Structure 1
């Protein structure tokens, strides 16, 4: 078997409308699919690069419990310090300080309202 690509990462939320607002307005992602009947959203970066983020209604039996996910990362365009400050000003909760892996990346962990964990990343190469 050969994996052709990684195209989607998804999380569960306790409030689909609130998640839609958070990812569109606070993080600036582009909504690419909104299926209320199925309890499902898909978002991507404004430039369309990287994987698609899927968000499922966590009240559905089939969905994992919100806040129990793998970490998704969002690579920022510019300085991570500026992006962190902008999100903090919007009420986003961060955990710990910005960590630097010299010559590679800077990263910092943040949470959505369901306490799903994410990271902002600044590539240093």
Structure 2
């Protein structure tokens, strides 16, 4: 319980894989009423706001999308390096190291006991 009180910032981004970023943005905006927050074309990424406070949808371009899944829950954290260390102490499996997109975000992908991919992200825009 102590970690949760100190680490999480209350934000949640649900990342979904898409083949065509522009078509996906258009669909989510028109069909679900989401609003585009930003698009990073060279990263193949867009983030859209939902009607749920601090819950966003992230769209990530992938060449091949696995049917029946692909959503990765991403929690916003205040200090990703501390969180990474905490996960290492619990022998969590990672998909690489912390990735930094300067002046935007730091991200880290890891897996639960059943192999479900999860992410944490630290906002660097402030």
TM category, shorter: 0.3 to 0.5
Q: TM-score, normalised by structure 2?
A: 0.46
Q: TM-score, normalised by structure 1?
A: 0.46
